[in-house]
Structure 1
């Protein structure tokens, strides 16, 4: 189960707990009511209170997208209806008519508090303010259905504080989520700029090679025709690789959802892994070892740079979170269709999963690898420690 699925599971568990609480409070409202001698109007108002409690569940139970326009409308309707019933009951009480059967509506109070929280957390900002205000007033006014004595006024103030607390909790979670979204968007924008620089460097490198080979072929055309054919084949391969990578990387730049994030750094690839590990061993107490299986020459530039960043992220995580590790092993294996990269340490495996915590390295790395058609996983190893695995396609036809 991924992080998003786990979060949704916890939300559903909290909702089930909320439903249980509202159900128990509803039974309390009915069980301890005084229904003797109630008029038809009183019975209808009692049923209306039970219906309003159920209506609040309909409002806060669904999982709304952020900025929902439908949620504030539903909250306004339910809050307005609750206020209307409160005004009717309060007016009847001042005229000496006892129309309240049971409590003033504890189940409805709990439901409206949940509505306030959800509408502040998920509602469209402008309409959510009015909806939360109406629902909050409805919560605060519920105890006045039973009378205006000091005890009921105190309960009204307590429920008003509860509504303010629910609104504050919703606003806090909303602010945290908005801040994280902005941070991720900023890092993604930085990554798009890095992709643009990578594209420029890559094209400049290959186009320069194509020009040099074409110039050389022109000079040796008469003396050695066979070398011209070889040069043309190399030009063809370089041109095809350039066009393929350019189309892929430009597609990433055009799609904001596919633009990953990573630290801004000069263009580096698998050829630079040995210096990277040497630099790591020079400052870290944990020795890093490089294991290469297969040739690493001729890799697509985006695959080479992404593999480098996988290793860089793995070493960074090992330095930060595995101070008790005795070694870090970097494995790079090339198959006919894939480049496999693994960074494994034998330290403690009690660290955050991908996408959790305050860092964005693994988030951006995951999106970068997926944009290329590969996969990446991070988690505890079978024999302990922590393992970062990435698979990168060498051929676009096998990219998933």
Structure 2
């Protein structure tokens, strides 16, 4: 059973327990009320008390939606009716004891439950007034039996109980609001990450399509068969680009994505092999993968960020180093760090601003720094261009 289903089951169980308790208190009220009923007036008042108790049960028993306006309005009506009955009994008794025995324990329990439910689920503008009115109605119930100090004390005790019920409802309401804010924050962060991923995927695939189209134009007359192969690769890359774009844009558009929607980036270090194979299919410079250490059990954010680093390095090599003869991808794991390097041997002059121009490296830098890592891009000591990233493992696990 999932968490919402389990929570709903517990709520139903609590409702059944509360309903059973109210039923027992109602039987107690009926027994002593019938014995103490004085003529038709006493029987009528007993029926009114039973009706108010049933109305209270019908009000708090259903599962109300959060922010309900009908709930506090109905609670105000119920509280007003209960207070009116109490005031009528006190005025009629005129210092005497019109009712003997119980003042309506089932009604008391029902009103306390109404206070809790209103504080938990009622609309914010009306709920405080409704909770206060229902609490006052519960506190005034003992006065139906008499105005002696003992009944005043019982009234104060019920007022304290109403305050406790309101506090419990407010606590659960605050906890639920905190969970909703946390979920909304996670979704916002995830949508921002998907937006960065969308740029990475589209830039990578579109760059490959452009390179293949340029190559096909140059070899069209000498080797038509290679043009057909290039067109097939362009078609495949275009299909992957559209699929990635539809999937990610769909998630970005839907803030209430279903629970089974992917809430993590789509690729990690385990997918570096296919990434390099796709690069080698369309690039003149072969890419070689060098792995030092096991890559199993990496934190998800580290694995996906390492994949994005390699993707950005390959995309930039394809764009800015057409004369490169080889690209080396190094992935090394230490006890505390994952080190990623993408180095090419291109001789085309490049400067850090030109290489870092655009949103790819900017977004990648934000991603790596958010994990507590570092990223640099610049000319290599032996020539070419080097993209280095260090990703901490310990901090990522703590996150």
Question: What TM-score do you get using the length of structure 2 for normalisation?
Answer: 0.66
The aligned counterpart of 2:286 is none
**Alpha-carbon offset, residue 240 of structure 1:** 1.6
| Segment of structure 1 superposing worse, 185-194 or 249-258 | 249-258
- What residue in structure 1 maps to residue 131 of structure 2? 132
> Using the alignment, how far apart are the partners of 1:253 and 1:31 within structure 2?
62
Distance 1:281 1:106, change over 3 A: closer
Partner residue in 1 for 2:175? 176
Match of 2:213 in 1: 214
Deviation at 1:279, TM superposition (A): 5.8
Residue matched to 1:236 = 235
Q: 2:20 & 2:230 partners in 1: Cα distance?
A: 76
Hey, what does 1:250 align to over in structure 2? Answer: 249
Higher-Rg member (1/2):
2
Partner of 1:226: 225
Question: Contact (CA 8 Å) 1:198, 1:267: kept in 2 or not?
Answer: no
Answer yes or no: is 1:161 the counterpart of 2:160: yes
- The alpha carbon displacement at 1:102 in A equals 3.6
CA contact (8 A) 1:33 1:102 kept: yes
Cα-to-partner distance string for 1:113-168 (whole Å, 9 max, x where unaligned): 00000110011111111110110000000001111101000000000000000000
Query: SS in structure 2 opposite 1:73?
Result: helix
Residue 278 in structure 1 maps to residue 289 in structure 2: no
Q: SS of 1:65's equivalent? A: coil
Q: Secondary structure at the match of 2:126?
A: helix
The SS at the match of 1:177 is: helix
Aligned residues: 281
SS at 2:147's partner residue?
A: coil
- What are the ranges of 5 or more consecutive residues in structure 1 without an aligned counterpart? 284-400
**Hey, what's the Cα distance between the residues in 1 that align with 2:108 and 2:208?**
74
Structure 1 pair 83–249 and aligned structure 2 pair: CA distance change class (3 A): same
Cα 1:201–1:36, aligned 2, differ >3 Å: closer, same or farther?
closer
Unpaired segments ≥5 residues, structure 2: 274-289, 300-399
- Deviation per residue, 1:14-44 (Å, 9 max, x gap): 1111111111111111222364672322221
Aligned equivalent of 1:195: 194
Pair 1:92–1:35, CA change in 2 (3 A): farther
SS in 2 for 1:125: coil
Distance 2:90 2:295 in 1: 76
When the two structures are superposed, what TM-score results if normalisation uses the length of structure 1?
A: 0.66
Q: Deviations over 1:43-68 (max 9, x none)?
A: 21111001101111000000111111
Equivalent residues in 2 for 1:1-400, closer than 5 Å: 1-33=1-33, 35=35, 38-94=38-94, 96=96, 98-100=97-99, 102-258=101-257, 268-271=268-271, 278=294
> Would the aligned equivalents of 2:49 and 2:104 in 1 still touch at CA under 8 Å?
yes
Structure 2 vs 1, CA of residues 200 and 276 (structure 1 numbering), >3 Å: closer, same or farther? farther
- CA separation in 1, counterparts of 2:9 and 2:266? 41
Judged with a 3 Å threshold, the aligned counterparts in structure 2 of structure 1 residues 114 and 272 are, in CA distance, closer, same or farther, namely farther
The answer on whether the counterparts of 2:36 and 2:99 sit within 8 Å (CA) in structure 1 is no
Output the CA distance in 2 between the equivalents of 1:82 and 1:269: 67
Any idea what SS the aligned residue of 1:32 has?
A: helix
Structure 1 residue 248: Cα displacement:
1.9
- Residue 244 of structure 1 and its aligned partner are, at CA, apart by 2.0
The answer as to whether partners of 2:64 and 2:71 remain within 8 angstroms in 1 is yes
Deviation at 1:214, TM superposition (A): 0.5
Aligned mates of 1:115, 1:50 — CA distance in 2: 16
